[in-house]
Structures are given as structure tokens and as C-alpha cells.
């Protein structure tokens, strides 16, 4: 059993790629058209679960880093938040609070937008053995948590008070065996549960009674092998991430009829390795975590628009205070782009243009990069609030913009934390949110 844990090229050759779909059948949902839009890096190591808020902000758990990453609807990296244990599952409730399932201590905690803990579900620590997935019914605010290790789904009211648990025992399919996904259908009084070991998509009423199920075990189109996350769109189509097969299978939610797929196994654009979860936003974009590829894949459904304007990049930083003037040197890489694709006249750090730009292998990794040299005095003068976080940005040849975050070496204290011990920083406020582990820097 693969543990439920886990940066991608924008390619013109794949951006219009559509996957073959079955013909439409009267009385069932129409097969969707699927196109590869892009991949999103964001410094992810092993992305797990996903959640969207009402503003289109996408929250991504990265259990391997112990972080939650927030991405704006246009592709900006908004925040990396650590110091919250081992975040596995995530959802946003009807009050806008962020629910995070911690696989380390078996809890689900509700946080406000400033990442202040508001309450925990049930008894708190130890309420769950493995909170693998969370779903919030958007009308009632009822919260459902799939506890994989205990083989059950637990339900709570919007304030976190326990209401009931169900495990499918006594139904035709028998008890749930390692449920990995849960999705509450809006206003329908039904909950979709992914039963991984039984290879079934099972539907329950809100009192825990099983209604129906579908699913055949195998690796052929329309079959299920190692299902994980699930999503249902407004057109009656159910999207299922199959972690072993590296694809998203699409079914008619009412009949279970196979409608098509998105993604194939692999590392190329539009391909998936260990897809763990998926959500669809208001633009009809399907976001899929690819844990073993360390990235987020984005598919357009039915001709969906692509509003992304920002691409996450990496920026290493070094300083030379003995030079005249003192210098700050950064090596900038944009995953999926050659350094020549960066428009030289647009590169800046916090509004300061570089003194020099050169393309080459400056870090010895046999991959071309862009080295930018800045006047350190000008850069530090631009840091009028004293924060050690730098924002590098510029425009790419295709019109998108890149963003990378770095840290000025030697600025050791900010808001009471050592800058070498900081992981959570908000692009919206420019302030460090909590202590954590920065590692090699914020990409």
C-alpha cells in the first residue's frame, strides 16, 4: 500500500492535447473534453490533498515538507505555512476556516486566515487514526472526514461537534476497507466515499446508509486499481484519481458509466505519478496533485480558460559586502523554461533592476540558469520594513510572469524569529507568520 503523500512544463505541444472519450449516451452526463493547460511547481516536494476557498485560492498539503501551500487563482504563490505537524488532508469550511488533518497526532484543526487555531474536531488529538480526506457540505456546513486506518467516515457539525460515524457494515459491499476519499454532494444529502481496498465508489445518505456503488477492479479504461481523491462537478461527472495507474478516470455520477480520463502515467507534461487528489475551480480547471512528480497538474475541462499569469521560480541568494559597491547575486531558474525565455529588461528584485545578467551554468548542476547581480545597498534600501524576504520577478517570452522568493543572508532576526528558522511568509502582508524550517530557501 502506497502511503497517501507526494513542477511542470508549459508546452505548446501539450497545451491543446485532448484525451479520447467515449460517445455520449442519452440520459447520462456528457463526456468532457480534456486539455492539458500547465503544471505548477511552487516548491512542492510531495503534494497531497487540495482545497479551494470562495476566492479561488487553492490550498495544497505537502506532508513531506510539513507545510500547506496557498496558490492564487492566477497562479501566484501566496503563502507557505509550516509548524502545523504533518498536514495530510485539508478543506475550507463555510466560514472560510481552513481545516487541516494532521497524520502525526490524529487531529483535524480549524484555522482562521491568520493560521490561528480556532477549534479541533471531536476530542482533538487522537480523534482519528489517519485523517486521509476532508469534505464540507456547503449548505449545512457539515464536515466529513475519511479515517483510512479505522475504515470509517466521521461526521461533525460546523462547530466541530461529533454527530455520527459510518463504515458500510451490513451493506452489500461490506465494511469500508481503507477509505481514502470523501466528497459531500451539495444539498443532495449524499456523500461519495472512495473505498480503496474494495475498489469501489460508494454513495451514502447523510445518516450513513449506503445507497449504491460502482467500480470494477483492473487497469483497463474505466476500471479502478488504487483510488484516492474524488470530485463531482456540476454536470454530474465524477472524477477519480487513481494513484497506481497515474490517471484520472471520469464517470457518470448516477450510473457509474465510464466517460473518459485525464492524464496518463509518467513524468512528461500532462502525465501523473501517484495522483492523490483533485478539485475543480470556477474556471472549469481540474487541479490534480502528482505526488511522485512533486507538482500540480492543471487540466482544462470543456474548453476552460487559463487565467494563470504567474509561474513559480527558484532564486538562490549570495552577497559580497567586500565589493564596491556591495553586491547581491542571485541564480534564477524557472522550471519548464530556458533562461533565454526570461525577458532581461523585466528582471528585478523588490523593484531594483540588476547591474548585470548572464546565462550559463553558474551553480555547477549542468543546467543553464540566469545569474543576476544587484547593488546590495539599493536592495537593502528597498527593504523599508526590515524583512529578510526578497521578491524576484520578471516576464517570460510567452507573456507570463515568474516569481521567486529569496532571503538576504546575514539578516538574522525578524519579529523575534531567526530568519534561518522561518518557513511561513505571506506575500499579501510581507510578514513572517510562524517559525518552521526554511531549508534551502523559499522557491
Tens digit of pLDDT for each residue in 2-40? 333 332 222 323 233 334 445 455 578 999 999 999 899
For the segment 382-403, the average pLDDT, to the nearest whole number, is 81
Q: What is the DSSP letter of 419?
A: G
> Which stretches of 207-363 are assigned E, i.e. beta strand?
210-214, 227-232, 237-242, 247-252, 258-262, 264-265, 271-272, 275-280, 285-290, 295-301, 310-312, 314-320, 327-333, 348-349, 356-360
Band (1; pLDDT cuts 50, 70, 90): very low
Among the residue ranges 29-43, 105-119, 191-205, 260-274, the one predicted with the least confidence is 29-43
Kindly give, in sequence order, each residue whose CB lies less than 8 Å from that of residue 149, ignoring residues fewer than 6 positions away: 128, 129, 130, 178
> What's the chain's average pLDDT?
86
Task: Tell me what pLDDT residue 22 has.
Answer: 53
pTM, two decimals, is 0.79
Among 178, 170, 165, 151, CA closest to 208: 165
Q: What are phi and psi of 362, to 5 degrees?
A: -85, -15
Task: Tell me what pLDDT residue 13 has.
Answer: 30
Residue 201 CA from chain centroid, whole number: 23
pLDDT tens-place string over residues 315-333: 999 999 999 999 999 999 9
Kindly give, in sequence order, each residue whose CB lies less than 8 Å from that of residue 394, ignoring residues fewer than 6 positions away: 332, 342, 343, 346, 347, 348, 401, 402
pLDDT tens-place string over residues 362-384: 989 898 999 999 999 999 888 65
Task: Tell me what pLDDT residue 433 has.
Answer: 32
| Helix ranges, 308-426 (H) | 376-382
* Residue 421, all three cell numbers: 528558522
Residue 427's CB is within 10 A of a number of other CB atoms, namely: 16
Amino acid at each position: 500500500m502506497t502511503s497517501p503523500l507526494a513542477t511542470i512544463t508549459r508546452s505548446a505541444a501539450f497545451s491543446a492535447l485532448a484525451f479520447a472519450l467515449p460517445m455520449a449516451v442519452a440520459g447520462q452526463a456528457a463526456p468532457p473534453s480534456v486539455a492539458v493547460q500547465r503544471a505548477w511547481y511552487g516548491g512542492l516536494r510531495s503534494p497531497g490533498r487540495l482545497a479551494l476557498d470562495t476566492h479561488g485560492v487553492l490550498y495544497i498539503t505537502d506532508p513531506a515538507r510539513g507545510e500547506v501551500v496557498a496558490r492564487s487563482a492566477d497562479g501566484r504563490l501566496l503563502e507557505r505555512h509550516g509548524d502545523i505537524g504533518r498536514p495530510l488532508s485539508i478543506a475550507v469550511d463555510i466560514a472560510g476556516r481552513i481545516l487541516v488533518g494532521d497524520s502525526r497526532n490524529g487531529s483535524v484543526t480549524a484555522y482562521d486566515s491568520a493560521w490561528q487555531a480556532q477549534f479541533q474536531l471531536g476530542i482533538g488529538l487522537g480523534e482519528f487514526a489517519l485523517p486521509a480526506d476532508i469534505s464540507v457540505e456547503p449548505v449545512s456546513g457539515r464536515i466529513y472526514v475519511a479515517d483510512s486506518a479505522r475504515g470509517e467516515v466521521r461526521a461533525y457539525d460546523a462547530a466541530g461537534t461529533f454527530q455520527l460515524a459510518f463504515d458500510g457494515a451490513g451493506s452489500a459491499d461490506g465494511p469500508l476497507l481503507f477509505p481514502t476519499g470523501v466528497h459531500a454532494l451539495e444539498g443532495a444529502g449524499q456523500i461519495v466515499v472512495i473505498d480503496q481496498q474494495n475498489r469501489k465508489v460508494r454513495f451514502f445518505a447523510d445518516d450513513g446508509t449506503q445507497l449504491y456503488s460502482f467500480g470494477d477492479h483492473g487497469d483497463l479504461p474505466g476500471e479502478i486499481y488504487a483510488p484516492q481523491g474524488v470530485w463531482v462537478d456540476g454536470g454530474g461527472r465524477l472524477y477519480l484519481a487513481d494513484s497506481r495507474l497515474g490517471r484520472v478516470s471520469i464517470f457518470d455520477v448516477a450510473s457509474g458509466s465510464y466517460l473518459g480520463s485525464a492524464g496518463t502515467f509518467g513524468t512528461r507534461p500532462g502525465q501523473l505519478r501517484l495522483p492523490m487528489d483533485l478539485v475543480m475551480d470556477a474556471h472549469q480547471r481540474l487541479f490534480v496533485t502528482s505526488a511522485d512528480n512533486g507538482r500540480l497538474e492543471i487540466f482544462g475541462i470543456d474548453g476552460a480558460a487559463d487565467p494563470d499569469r504567474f509561474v513559480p521560480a527558484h532564486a538562490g541568494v549570495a552577497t559580497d559586502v567586500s565589493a564596491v559597491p556591495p553586491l547581491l547575486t542571485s541564480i534564477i531558474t524557472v522550471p519548464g523554461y530556458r533562461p533565454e525565455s526570461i525577458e532581461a529588461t523585466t528582471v528585478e528584485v523588490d523593484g531594483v533592476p540588476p547591474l548585470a545578467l548572464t546565462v550559463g551554468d553558474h551553480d555547477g548542476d549542468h543546467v543553464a540558469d540566469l545569474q543576476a547581480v544587484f547593488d546590495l545597498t539599493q536592495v537593502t534600501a528597498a527593504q523599508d520594513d526590515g524583512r529578510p524576504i526578497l521578491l524576484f520577478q520578471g516576464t517570460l517570452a510567452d507573456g507570463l510572469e515568474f516569481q521567486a522568493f529569496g532571503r538576504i543572508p546575514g539578516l538574522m532576526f525578524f519579529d523575534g524569529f531567526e530568519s534561518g528558522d522561518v518557513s511561513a511568509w505571506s506575500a499579501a502582508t510581507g510578514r513572517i507568520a510562524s517559525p518552521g524550517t526554511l531549508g534551502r530557501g523559499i522557491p
